[in-house]
Amino acid sequence: MSLRQVAQSLGLSLGLVATTAALVPTVRATLLSEAWAAETVYPPGSRFGFEPPSDMVPSRRFTGFERREGGATISVVELPSNAFAELVTSFTDANLLTQGLAVEKREPLKLGEAEAMLYSGEQPADPAGRMPAVRKLLLLVGDSTVTGLIIAQFLPDAETEATMRAVLAGVKVRPALSLTQQVDALPFRIADLAGFRPVRVLAGNSVLMTAGPKDQMLDMEQPILVLAQAVQQPPAAEQRDAFARAALYANQTMKDFVIERAQSYRQNGIDWHEIVARAVDVPTNKAVVVAQTIRFAPDGYLRAVGVVREDQRSETLSKFREVVDSVQVK
């Protein structure tokens, strides 16, 4: 498993500080206390806890922490326990450089019962001068039940390297959370499941659901519905149709899209965009119907993608909509 595969599969990037709003002031309401700097804090739904600096709070944009004033982030990705050895092998200097980390030092660590490897270096400054150099610490933690990929990124005037190293070295691993606990930690609440049930929570901001008894849908026997929240600048109204179509076409597990309808609408004071399309499921080569609904907000959007076999569409599309309409963002 390469770092690129990890990043692509979870929608993350090692250039998080330099390429997102973390470099500008973070505008958000928070009830978090300065006292958190002395306590282990677990990002919602995460097994990895830290003692963050007092000016860093759990992020609403990703699993981890970000500095209120911008310029520093700590992101956390959880992977299977057997990923640790594979990642240590694949994290060569050359591979990490392609992902924006020029490695200066690598250090094997022992964190409690867990093996760990700490990579330190920087993302070089943009040659055009648009972005300064960014310091980076990448920590791999190999617990017997989970692997942690933890990335600290910071500008030199935002946090010191000693501070960020201390945060990473103090990482704690708690027992696996139940599915119910993970769902409860999502940044949104589903009021009406409409016959669906959660199967898996992904990256702390997404949930995979299905209608039926099986957890593994290898042959599209059961409908699938994925809900994911993104906290980032949403597209302008005139760009939303193109944005929605691009998001739909980016799904690499489907092909041969034929859009039946695509429309923007306003409901209960909220802007929405919906696409219903026919497609072919690549793994099974079966005809499917895809319903994508995006709910826009000033600071982000909620995206729902439902997939169902063509012969099940009549009884399922309305159920997708029931679930989506019931979602309440926290």
Q: Quick one: average pLDDT of 211-238? A: 91
Residue 194 has pLDDT above 80, yes or no: yes
pLDDT at residue number 193? 98
Identify the CATH number of the domain defined by range 3-173. 3.40.1000.10
Parse the chain into domains and list their residue ranges. 3-173, 179-329
Q: Quick one: average pLDDT of 263-289? A: 95
pLDDT at residue number 81? 95
Distance CA 64, CA 9 (A): 17
The least confident of 38-47, 79-88, 140-149 is 38-47
Mean pLDDT for the chain overall: 87
Segment 33-50, tens digit of pLDDT: 333 445 899 999 999 999
Distance CA 111, CA 249 (A): 43
Q: Are 115 and 179 in contact (CB under 8 A)?
A: no
So what's the architecture of 179-329 in CATH? Answer: 3-Layer(aba) Sandwich (3.40)
At 124, is the pLDDT very low, low, confident or very high (cuts 50, 70, 90)?
Answer: confident
At 155, is the pLDDT very low, low, confident or very high (cuts 50, 70, 90)?
Answer: very high
The rounded percent of the chain whose pLDDT value lies above 70 is: 88
Alpha-carbon Rg for the chain, nearest whole angstrom, is: 21
In the chain, the DSSP E strands lie at 48-49, 56-58, 64-67, 72-79, 102-111, 114-123, 134-142, 147-154, 172-173, 188-190, 197-202, 206-210, 224-230, 254-267, 270-281, 286-297, 300-309, 327-329
Segment 198-222, tens digit of pLDDT: 999 988 899 999 999 999 877 899 9
Segment 15-35, tens digit of pLDDT: 443 333 333 333 333 333 333
Distance CA 201, CA 99 (A): 26
Q: Are 177 and 313 in contact (CB under 8 A)?
A: no
Amino acid (one-letter) located at 131: M
User: Measured on CA atoms in the order 92, 168, 158, 11, is the torsion positive or negative?
Assistant: positive
Segment 306-326, tens digit of pLDDT: 999 999 999 999 999 999 999
Q: Do domains 3-173 and 179-329 have the same CATH topology?
A: yes
Q: Which of 320, 250, 328, 325 is nearest to 291 (CA)?
A: 320
Segment 101-119, tens digit of pLDDT: 999 999 999 999 999 999 9
Residue 2 has pLDDT above 90, yes or no: no
Residue 172 has pLDDT above 70, yes or no: yes
pTM: 0.75
Q: Which of 147, 144, 197, 101 is nearest to 1 (CA)?
A: 147
Q: Are 62 and 16 in contact (CB under 8 A)?
A: yes
Distance CA 303, CA 293 (A): 6
Both tokens assigned to 160:
């010191």
